[in-house]
Structure 1
Amino acid sequence: MVNSLSLRSILDAKKLTGPNFIDWFLNNKIILKQEKKAYVLNGLVLEETSDDAISEENEAYRFYMDDFDQATCVMLASIASDLQKQHKAMNALYIILNLREMFSKENRTKRFNISRELFRCKMSEASPIRPHMLKMKGYIT
């Protein structure tokens, strides 16, 4: 039975451009989970079967590699074209590692700056509490 619900349109609408790496990665995991292929992101890569392997092992390896290739294609299709060119020769695990390395520093700096503003946020005496709380809530969000 073919699943009529496809979440891949989420990735088309929100391609990876850099600052949205965390959201992009979570969306990819959701789509791969829905398609029953998220297990390939666990970091375990099956070794190619030997010539004397039984047919069940060969079939399992071929099934795994098909899912792994599909996960790679989903990721490549959902990133900006300049990033596609950089990652077209990589598999899904290497793509994630490389993108995480590229964009985690930027996200860390952004989180630090927001935290700094949050901790510096002080309410002036005799001012209403609502605007102050909304400002703090915005920083936390």
Structure 2
Amino acid sequence: MEIRNPIPPFSLETALEKVQLAEDAWNSQDPIRVSLAYTIDTEWRNRSEFINGRENVVKFLSSKWQRELNYKLKKELWAFTGNRIAVRFEYEFHDIQGQWFRAYGNENWEFDDNGLMRRRFACINDLAIKEQERHIV
């Protein structure tokens, strides 16, 4: 049985820890490492894409980080209760042509009893920026 600490119900301390663990994993840009935080049958909505299952998470993230170069993410705890956490985030990246972007958004997370994320719903907006306008370096 897979367990991914911290497990719910979350306190302020454990919710903050869960958010930092997610930020660290995503900043590794390692799709397999990231996917291990999710249930085998995880459900995602990422922008207008619906992704189901850990295997598809790996495919999605592999493709994402081939397009989004020099990706750097910052997550912030927004709210938590029981087995749910809400975060706001921003990340920056550039495309193959060198155009930089900042993406802003919110995520709603739901965890199983073992601390694996079973549902992730993300709303994301992109803004083209100049390299010197980056916040996250």
TM-score w.r.t. the length of structure 1 is: 0.24
Larger-gyration structure (1/2)? 1
Query: Which structure has greater strand proportion?
Result: 2
TM-score w.r.t. the length of structure 2 is: 0.24
RCO higher in 1 or 2 (8 Å CA, sep ≥ 6)?
Answer: 2
Query: Which structure has greater helix proportion?
Result: 1
